[in-house]
Structure 1
């Protein structure tokens, strides 16, 4: 049987590149190169890869996180030796489960993701968090990369926590985050009120979307003091509207004709069925750079603006010359009249 070979690059979930070799969409050979050394980033696409394998596609994955148990139709190629792995472990074991179950006042989860290290924050910020946590009745679990001396009894730190499993626990009351897209989506999906402390890039916008919907509070880095942290967390937990709005957002987020995973699988297979789906190809990809960046439009507007300024200059110059000439004529006439007198 002859097979038509094609390579279709596509950006899917956090810059993961796919190549597909296929004749029939029922069974495609899919290559996934996932160049992330952070487990929290990899799991975003892991479910899609497993889902495609479960549909019968032959999936080959280059990543730093091979499956611990073999998955049918999925072949892992471990490349963790190429980049240092920044996280470890990802299961909610009995010890953690028991600890969260016993948190009678609930618990707050704190993580700045796998890129930014909480241990690198300035001392006055760390002191502000520790003091605020010590005054709260809730258990605090914090992803922190180093040991801390003299921590309050209601604070537990680890280098990594199983975030998705923690979000599914009934006793969670709030989530403190930097506002990364993956963390925000997981928090919204779980229906958890969020205290957002944005660091850079898209994070301020992500958190602002929650604030506008009444499901979160934002604190900037320069605003981190004991009073601000304590008051924000107290308000987030005690004001029931934040939890209600978070639950409403979660319901809205999940109310769709198919799950997010099913939707992702559908579009991968759609591209396969339609041989790259070039009918959906953006015309922007074919534009010359000067058109793509609207440099021609900008040049036209700038030229028009300078022409307008030049015309204004000419008008004022003519007007000024006319006034000067008129004044000179009046002066000459006045001088002649004076001499006659």
Structure 2
């Protein structure tokens, strides 16, 4: 989208080089013959926000998968199948970089979405609120994901969504392409942030990149002067057309009246 010269868009500023995983997570990932699925709804989504039966639905779906599943959840659950590992915190970005990571089931928060794209991991979208809905819609429109409603989803729908993403190579190809677009830059996100911050300092605030719109009055910003001028011209033309029409009409009536008298 177009931005002003003084605005520099930098995505993935929070993403750093992957760190070594804790030993238990490393063993869990390395031993996953069929790959690993990560499910996380970020740090701001509480388990109490989901409909009753959500946890049982997820457990039912996951136990039917050949893949191992890492599930970030804020409480312990009974009856978890052996292929599922629960945790109240996970090094999400580092896990997404692991070569055995196959799918990220996410709420589509901005930071989580950027991490998935940066790491090129296919997404299954389960947005919960606010901007997550718009983010998920955008991913669907660009053929990067399938969107499901976490408040109404069934275990069959969740399982079907997972299988569709994993079995259709289009989603992985599109994620790889999007990741290339995000990372194919002359500088990393942090280097860009540092460069442009220092650039603004070196040039005393970079006034040459300052938008003239910031110094305009509200009448100029809304182009009210242009609108007023255009409206005035329109009214003048309208008056002239009316004047000419009435003049012609009067002459016509005059000649008709004179013709009848004669």
Q: Which residue in 2 is equivalent to 1:166?
A: 95
1:92 to 18, 21, 24: 21
Q: Write out aligned runs for 1:170-249 (5 A).
A: 170-249=99-178
Paired residues, number: 219
Which residue of 246, 249, 256 corresponds with 2:185? Answer: 256
Gaps of 5+ in 2: 1-6, 232-262
> Which residue of 63, 68, 72 corresponds with 1:139?
68
Change in CA separation of 1:46 and 1:275 when aligned onto 2, cut-off 3 Å: farther
Deviation at 1:13, TM superposition (A): 7.5
| Distance (Å, rounded) in 1 between the aligned partners of 2:44 and 2:180 | 29
Structure 2 residue matching 1:276: 3-state secondary structure: coil
Cα distance in 1 for residues equivalent to 2:192 and 2:175: 23
**Aligned twin of 2:41:** 112
Alpha-carbon shift at residue 222 of structure 1 (Å): 3.9
Q: Equivalents in 1 of 2:63, 2:70: separation in Å? A: 12
Distance 2:63 2:96 in 1: 22
The structure with higher relative contact order (CA 8 Å, sep 6+) is 2
Higher strand residue share? 1
- Normalising by structure 2, we get a TM-score of 0.74
Flag structure 1 segments of 5+ consecutive residues without an equivalent.
1-9, 15-42, 48-89, 305-341
Query: Alpha carbons of 1:283 and 1:149: their partners in 2 closer, same or farther (altered >3 Å)?
Result: farther
Instruction: Indicate how the Cα distance of structure 1 residues 290 and 207 shifts in structure 2: closer, same or farther if over 3 A, else same.
Output: farther
2:209 maps to 1:280: yes
Alignment partners' CA distance in 2, 1:182 and 1:166? 15
Sort the Cα spacing of 1:283 and 1:200 in 2 relative to 1 into closer, same or farther, 3 A: farther
The 1-side partners of 2:69 and 2:26 are apart by 14
